Amino acid sequence: MSRRLVFSKPFVRDYQALPDEIKAAVDKALGLLLANTRHPSLQTKKMQPAARGIFEARVTQSYRMTFQVDEANVVLRRVGTHDILKTP
């Protein structure tokens, strides 16, 4: 069974504020994420505390996105510079 992407309101708001070249990088990363949440170029890792079930993935050297995974969905939480990791 394949998962689908679910876009949270904070993720949409973050995405809309990004420069166009970063939006393109996010779009590419989302395709990789949907195909394989552990794709090597995403450098996916579980955020601390791990009990929250939030993951961080790399978009570019300076940009990250956060998400949660369940059986059917990849819930996208935030996207932006490293600062978003303070409030994933």
Domain residue limits at 46:
4-80
**Ranges in the chain, pLDDT < 70:** 1, 51
Number of domains composing the chain: 1
How far is CA 80 from each of CA 12, 13, 18, 71, rounded to the nearest angstrom? 11, 10, 7, 26
The CATH code of the domain that includes 65 is: 3.30.2310.20
Is 88 within the bounds of a domain? no
Residues 67 and 85: their CA atoms lie apart, in Å, by: 11
Is 51 within the bounds of a domain? yes
Return the H-helix or E-strand segment holding 57. strand 55-58
Whole-number pLDDT of residue 33 = 94
CB-based contact 44:57 (threshold 8 Å): yes
Is 87 within the bounds of a domain? no
pTM for the whole structure = 0.91
Is 44 within the bounds of a domain? yes
Whole-number pLDDT of residue 1 = 55
Ramachandran angles phi, psi of 60, nearest 5°:
-140, -175
Is 85 within the bounds of a domain? no
